[in-house]
Structure 1
């Protein structure tokens, strides 16, 4: 994925500041603009860069509740696992869904406007999902670190 130190530096800079101009990025990593752009496009094509997005503040947008739900399924057959993942992909409140090993099959990150909205989501969308055996939830009290990506420095 990463061919050399320049690729690593490009990725580190973009991960930290996705809106940086190509000219500024090139200066930071010691390239001129055209080869910098070619390298970034190559990293995108190889899948090292999956996309770009704005880091939104949920509370500023009215989403005051974040919950992690630990979901156990009744069946762990591959088709059942994929069906659950497909269902979670359709729910906009679900921001992350990770399959785990161990007692819990999935951990799901959910955002909601308030406790009542979350309760409605839980009882009308998550719990009734086919093959769900149990759901245990934990409300986030405080987040001390939220850092996307990987440690490249």
Structure 2
């Protein structure tokens, strides 16, 4: 994938949007020192290039009844490409699995899972995760508290 060249204004746009994706184009333009039309053109170019992938609300899981977050480390019996893809498709279909990352090392995947309570998590674990085809083992860790939960990526302070 080709890397797109981002200038200081692009970086400022991204920094501001990561802080508040709901601001109007006029407000964003003012914050980065542009008028509205070129600001909108830059945003559209960043979207088209895939730098900006989506806009979404950062929802508090507890407010929707998801009181626990669990990280599950999954090992598979086979790492053949078709088996990896089958597992990836399986977890894509599980709405409680919010993130899935393939790893290098003895663990094949790490999953971030939200659940209403321990009972519903156990049902997911035994009914849909450990029983999935090709799963060798699942080790879980229940979070005690979240210290940092930052969306996006670090943008240099000079861009802000």
Runs of 4+ in 1 over 4 A off after TM superposition: none
Unaligned 5+ segments in structure 2 are none
Offset at 1:66? 0.4
Structure 2 counterparts to residues 23-38 of structure 1, below 5 A: 23-38=26-41
Task: Specify the alignment match of 1:150 in structure 2.
Answer: 153
Is it true that 1:131 corresponds to 2:134 in the alignment? yes
Root mean square deviation of aligned Cα: 0.7
TM-score (norm 2): 0.94
TM-score (norm 1): 0.98
Offset at 1:132? 0.4
Structure 2 counterparts to residues 1-153 of structure 1, below 5 A: 1-153=4-156
Distance 2:5 2:16 in 1: 14
Offset at 1:60? 1.0
Offset at 1:3? 2.4
Distance 2:62 2:5 in 1: 36
Instruction: Please give the per-residue CA displacement for 1:109-147, whole angstroms capped at 9, x wherever unaligned.
Output: 000000000000000011111100000000000000000
Unaligned 5+ segments in structure 1 are none
Distance 2:33 2:103 in 1: 41
Distance 1:149 1:52 in 2: 11
Distance 1:113 1:38 in 2: 42
Three-state SS of the structure 1 residue aligned to 2:120 is: helix
The answer on whether the counterparts of 1:2 and 1:8 sit within 8 Å (CA) in structure 2 is: no
